[in-house]
Amino acid sequence: MILVTGGAGFIGANFVHQWFESGHEAAVVLDKLTYAGNLGNLADLMGRSGFHFVHADICDRTALQRVLTEHRPRAIVHFAAESHVDRSIRGPAQFLQTNFTGTFELLEAAREYWVALPGAQRDSFRFLHVSTDEVYGSLRETDPAFSEQRAYSPNSPYAASKAASDHLVRAWHQTYGLPTLVTNCGNNYGPYQFPEKLIPLMILNALEGKPLPVYGDGLNVRDWLYVTDHCTAIQRVLASGRIGQTYNIGGGCERRNVEVVRAICAALAALRPRAGGYESQIEFVQDRPGHDRRYAIDASKVQGELGWRPQETFESGLSKTVRWYLDHADWVAAVRDGRYRQWIELHYGSDRPGPT
């Protein structure tokens, strides 16, 4: 049995699906089910042998202790986090509460549980913390990609809250000996991603004839990683990663934001052609405060030590992603409820869903 926090969210749900598809042991998913945590992401696993769901908040120590005592996991994979930069600019308090305080509560519950395990179970226990490349700050065009040795330099409330949580995990290993692992990933995309993030937002806006808003000059660079490749890497780190180590996980697919949007337009034109295509909907809008210019991941450590490499190119992963959203209109309708629309109206105005 493993415990997966935030397992009803985008990356967490993909990880849980892949976990069962790979024939692994049972998993208990713990999720608060906020706006982006959606039980519909796990609907086909409900009732499956070995799958358990617990509706709880990682900030609730008592609930965490109860789950650990009842299910006795051999590992914790910690996805639960607030993750949208724009939301963190509007309301940083929730990001500190979930990402920092929640990680602290989870670490303390895990430490209490771990020290009480019998010898062999204690030795094999792992706490894997899933983080982001945004903790490293911004790169210039000619800078080398982020390695695990790069100093932290977060520039948004979201990135700062994740950097703080990374430091907690390191400290709990160094001080208490908790057997931790940390992964820092690039921009994920794929099925089940909440439609405020760049790729699903652009797909849906394009289909609905709405503007495709691109921040600033559109030349900000991100390293794109198809979500199932990320999940495979996490499984590899959980199984064979060295205790106390950090592993950077990237797709090796640096793309400028405007290039990503144009690639989405091209993929849609191939899968759902229409006269005039979709690129005419691109619209450049005012940049976000503190917008990092470039991210890039040096994944040589996870590749060299653990033999992991991404299986998808950006083009193949994007084609799969666009097709998934075209084929899952019911899922899209279900997640785009009142809370999502209220957020869009608050942040970008009622007439225009905004960029991420």
Residue 76 corresponds to which tokens in the numbers above?
């914790």
Query: Where does 78-138 have alpha helices with state H?
Result: 85-90, 92-95, 103-115, 119-124
Element at 300 (helix H, strand E): helix 300-306
Catalytic residues: 133-134, 158
Q: Name residue 54's beta-bridge partners.
A: 30
Q: What is the torsional sign of CA 289, 144, 79, 169?
A: negative
C-alpha 104/C-alpha 59 separation (Å) is 8
What is the distance in angstroms between the CA of the first residue and the CA of the last residue of the chain?
A: 36
Burial of residue 94 (CB within 10 Å: 0-12, 13-18, 19+) is middle
Query: E strands of 64-201, at which residues?
Result: 75-78, 126-132, 180-185, 187-189
Amino acid at the residue 298: D
C-alpha 83/C-alpha 196 separation (Å) is 11
